[in-house]
Structure 1
């Protein structure tokens, strides 16, 4: 069996996330349908991250195993992009060792959240940014970001679907870029829980809007309780921007 990794990007507007769901369009389903037609066998495709409906992927990794070689590797990008819908593009293919997993062997992921702060938002950015109704205090936003750095129990910033997951995780870096009409928030770490990035950005904005105090956020990080009414920023402003792998270290760990 050969194991191939694909590097690709997608516009999440028309998809119900990356993970396959019954009778709903998903990125995984599209790839499995296209790959199965190419190789004339049933293919299982695995994405590097489980993204939700309307979330976008600027850099995604995915891998699949195949028993035959119907298409040469140097032709695979061309063939895939001819068959895939226009809102998914493959940039590179790479044969990896058999046990490699794009999801479990990632060593760093960076998420980008885009906030449109223009007075009149462009209709062409509606599916790709979040336009809040309140003014964002950039100084407060930069101040509060450091609270999330390091290792914390992010139980209060996770989905009910993560009950069986380890919620103690490390955020390596948070950066904020401010332009005339947009704020970009980047959050990096090895692993994230479902909705974690959207809940972190939401708490940062609540503080920047003056809706909560710094101690309120500190309490969220120190208590193992999910508030009944938690604010979560909309999905369309979120992107998986980059994923890093240490192929040699991952391979050695399997030996």
Structure 2
């Protein structure tokens, strides 16, 4: 005898945000706390005993303005009810923007691309509060002492990385080696000496953004010749790069085809419940 629709679990998409410094990465692990552990514990306390499936993992220290997870609610529950009661169960540094019930959706496999943003302080003086914990203060990073990085130079180097290519020189070998498309890599001035690199692509391997950022900075600072950067991009040959620290990186947005996207354009522009203070301030 088949179950009625009312007895079936309800697939939903959760838009969550978090500050990476509060967790040891996204994926559950024995050493916790992790975002997955905290979220699943909160869901379990609200009658949702399920394992979440995320759009992708973030490493320890990486923040997320928009992380999307798939989960199934128990019969009789609803997205609006969960959206109202779950935030009170979440720990500091982890929050909920929306819960939606899309059709034929998987947080990871339905995604068409992602946008990451990396924040930099390029000034001579120390990075000011409240941004200091969320930016790479380049001149004070070991190996960059007294370095001067010109914004135009950095943006020109990053623009060379756009297009479809094998990024094997810029990611962990544990990630599959395959062509990936970096659609854009643009530098935006946020005021004073604060900058933000916005990287959009169809998918990113582990540490890819951090190695791209760190290696481009090393070349822009004159610590490596540009020929090494070009060779790594064009042939995949290894270079003596630099993995930029996690605290400057934000998973900004996960993209889905319009027919599958659980969230509206308005919600994406003005996320409900998202803190405006760093690291999420700029749109």
Q: TM-score, normalised by structure 2?
A: 0.81
How many angstroms does 1:96 deviate by?
A: 2.1
Cα RMSD of the aligned pairs, angstroms, is 2.0
Please state whether the residue corresponding to 2:136 is helix, strand or coil.
coil
Other-structure match for 2:194: 182
Other-structure match for 1:62: 69
Contact 2:165-2:180 within 8 A present in 1 as well: yes
CA distance in 2, matches of 1:21, 1:29: 8
CA distance in 2, matches of 1:58, 1:187: 14
Q: Flag structure 2 segments of 5+ consecutive residues without an equivalent.
A: 1-8, 140-146, 262-283
2:40 aligned with 1:22: no
Q: Flag structure 1 segments of 5+ consecutive residues without an equivalent.
A: 251-255
How many angstroms does 1:158 deviate by?
A: 0.6
Other-structure match for 2:164: 151
Of residues 133, 153, 157, the one that matches 1:127 is 133
Other-structure match for 1:77: 83
How many angstroms does 1:160 deviate by?
A: 2.8
CA distance in 1, matches of 2:21, 2:31: 17
Other-structure match for 2:41: 33
Q: 5 Å matches for 1:213-232?
A: 213-227=225-239, 229-232=240-243
CA distance in 2, matches of 1:16, 1:33: 16
CA distance in 2, matches of 1:224, 1:69: 53
Following TM superposition, the consecutive aligned residue runs of length 4 or more in structure 1 with deviations greater than 6 angstroms are: none
CA distance in 2, matches of 1:23, 1:216: 38
Of residues 116, 123, 126, the one that matches 2:121 is 116
CA distance in 2, matches of 1:3, 1:168: 32
How many angstroms does 1:249 deviate by?
A: 6.0
Q: Deviations over 1:8-65 (max 9, x none)?
A: 21111111111111231111111111112212x5311122121000100011111112
User: Normalized per residue, which structure has more helix?
Assistant: 1
2:60 aligned with 1:49: no
2:150 aligned with 1:137: yes
CA distance in 1, matches of 2:177, 2:217: 26
Contact 2:12-2:79 within 8 A present in 1 as well: no
Please state whether the residue corresponding to 1:191 is helix, strand or coil.
coil
How many angstroms does 1:132 deviate by?
A: 1.1
Contact 2:118-2:196 within 8 A present in 1 as well: yes
CA distance in 2, matches of 1:146, 1:45: 36
Other-structure match for 1:253: none
CA distance in 2, matches of 1:5, 1:61: 7
Contact 2:126-2:137 within 8 A present in 1 as well: no
Contact 2:14-2:99 within 8 A present in 1 as well: yes
Q: TM-score, normalised by structure 1?
A: 0.89
Contact 1:60-1:243 within 8 A present in 2 as well: yes
CA distance in 2, matches of 1:7, 1:244: 12
2:270 aligned with 1:246: no
How many angstroms does 1:232 deviate by?
A: 0.7
Of residues 167, 176, 181, the one that matches 1:170 is 181
